[in-house]
Chain A
């Protein structure tokens, strides 16, 4: 049975200008343009957003602390002599809290491939002030980004809409007066 799933993309969301991009999850899409649209519909229906990146998942190196410990030779990989230097974005997760964010953008590294970028990121000491539980290494040239002009049509309308958790509705639907009281309390 052939795999009929569309390719998977990692989605990185920036809430506001100046804030780091955060890995919020994955979507399927046939191409980068549709990946951006799907990312918007799945991850930005209500929350704040200024910019979205989508990156084919097979271009992202994801490695946990445990994977590195279990395989001390993780960095060993033959690098072709003529492989050019590229920019890689470094994402880390430095806590164990329950969170919608898998990893946060913390900087860039120049390297010839993913594993070299991760090794250099570790050796630089720039990202390891606290233990890192998860690394994501994203080549800059694999990113498809939304634009400045997308903010209004794609992200701004969500801000005008009221967001309610599911629990808001519990037991209220058939109690008209309770619902009205709650509406008044919420303003």
Chain B
């Protein structure tokens, strides 16, 4: 997969704006590759065959989206996407903690994916008009699949939340666990003000408000209770102990045989 455009504005970006852009792209790319890896862990283990295939599709989509964001970084800095994914250690990753948590049960996986898909969909909507053209082009391409992901995962959340006593209990337990972590998606990065001023990225406050409004109304309609727990406000370089374990598995083959072709 390759991105269709080559940025023409790179030479005009000042150092501060360039760094801000790379930081945000890395956050997006790392979120997607780690979530995609967790989703891929269901391959061969999903509750039914159809959903096994759907989940493998979804995982592949997320990893494909990550590649698009990594390639935008490559266009700006020359960093190789494979190097970024397979040869960085946990402290250098910039994903939120929510996506690195173990896959849990099906309710946990579907709710995590729902919370993330909604965030991503709302972000991509706003990136369609980004003044950084490669970002707008990539958003247009990715957004189609995200609309489908959102439909798939919200459909599942609805059915589990309103299903049997057990499925409801599991969905509420997933929400209790995930809710504080979801807040970290909106923790600002140091370069966000520069990105907003340049028209490259939307205001994170407004994005968070839109996300909260949509999530509140959807989940409360599903008879779920939003917990009053303290949100995770850690910076994106802070990780749980789960990330190094995940990376150990994800990077193992690439590190054993760095020159292998795929």
Contacts and interface: CB of A to CB of B under 8 A. Distances in A.
Q: Do A and B bind each other?
A: yes
Contacts of B259: 176
A97 B247 CA distance: 48
B214 interface: no
A29 B144 CA distance: 24
A62 interface: no
Most B C-beta atoms less than 10 A away, residue of A29, A40, A41, A179: A41
Contacts of B49: 28
A37 B152 contact: yes
Contacts of B151: 37, 153
B256 interface: no
Interface stretch (B50-58, B74-82, B197-205): B50-58
Contacts of B155: 33-34, 37
A28 B260 contact: no
A33 B156 CA distance: 11
Contact of A28 (B1, B48, B262): B48
B148 A38 contact: no
A107 interface: no
B54 A37 contact: yes
A159 B125 CA distance: 22
A48 to B, nearest CB: 16
A153 B144 contact: yes
B145 interface: yes
B159 interface: yes
Nearest to B145: A157
Contacts of B54: 37-38, 41-42
A30 B262 contact: no
Interface string A11-36: 00000000000000001111101100
User: Which secondary structure characterizes the binding site on chain B?
Assistant: helix
Contacts of A173: 261-262
B245 interface: no
Contacts of A160: 141
Interface string A148-187: 0000111011001100000000000111100110000000
Interface in B79-132: none
Interface string A99-111: 0000000000000
A156 B142 CA distance: 11
B159 A30 contact: yes
A173 B54 CA distance: 26
A27 B57 contact: no
B261 A153 contact: no
B50 A29 contact: yes
Interface string A127-154: 0000000000000000000000000111
Contacts of A30: 159
A152 B48 contact: no
Contacts of A157: 144-145, 148
Contacts of B262: 173
B147 A34 contact: no
Given A33-B155, A34-B159, A174-B260, A42 B53 contact: yes
B50 A41 contact: yes
A152 B50 contact: no
Given A34-B159, A37-B151, A153 B50 contact: no
A6 B50 CA distance: 11
A115 interface: no
A90 to B, nearest CB: 28
Contact of B148 (A154, A176, A180): A154
List the 7 closest pairs (A to B, CB-CB), nearest first: A176-B261, A41-B54, A153-B147, A38-B50, A153-B148, A153-B144, A179-B261
21 contacts: A28-B48, A28-B50, A30-B159, A33-B155, A37-B152, A37-B155, A38-B54, A40-B148, A42-B50, A42-B53, A45-B53, A153-B148, A153-B151, A154-B148, A157-B144, A157-B145, A160-B141, A161-B1, A173-B261, A174-B261, A175-B261
Interface of B: 1, 48-51, 53-54, 57, 141, 144-145, 147-148, 151-152, 155, 159, 259-262
Given A152-B147, A175-B261, 8 more contacts: A30-B159, A38-B51, A40-B148, A41-B54, A153-B145, A153-B147, A176-B259, A176-B261
